[in-house]
Amino acid sequence: MPKTLGDLFDDFEREAFRLEALDDYGRSGNVDAYRLFLDGKPKPDGYNADWLEDVRKNVEAGRRMYRVHVVTRPLTPYLRFELAWGYTTNSTAGEEFFILDVTQQANPLEGVGDFWLFDSVTAAPMHYTPDGEFTGADVLPDDRADEYVGYRDTALAHAVPFANWWAEHGE
Q: What is the pLDDT of residues 5-16, one digit of tens each?
A: 999 999 999 999
Beta-ladder partners of 15: 64
Query: Regarding the domain with residue range 5-169, which homologous superfamily does it belong to in the CATH classification?
Result: Endonuclease Chain A (3.30.870.10)
Nearest to 161 by CA among 96, 75, 116: 96
Q: Is the pLDDT of residue 34 over 90?
A: yes
How far is 98 from 156, CA to CA, in rounded Å? 8
- How many degrees, rounded to 5, is the angle at CA 43 between CA 37 and CA 48? 105
For 70-116, the pLDDT digits (tens) are 999 999 999 999 999 999 999 999 999 999 999 999 999 999 999 99
Which 8-state DSSP code applies to residue 28? S
Domain residue limits, the chain: 5-169
The answer, yes or no, to whether residue 171 has pLDDT greater than 80, is no
Report how far residue 127's alpha carbon sits from residue 101's, in angstroms, rounded to the nearest whole number. 22
Mean pLDDT across the chain: 95
Residue among 13, 14, 15, 16 at smallest CA distance from 137: 16
pLDDT band at 63 (very low <50, low <70, confident <90, very high): very high
pTM: 0.95
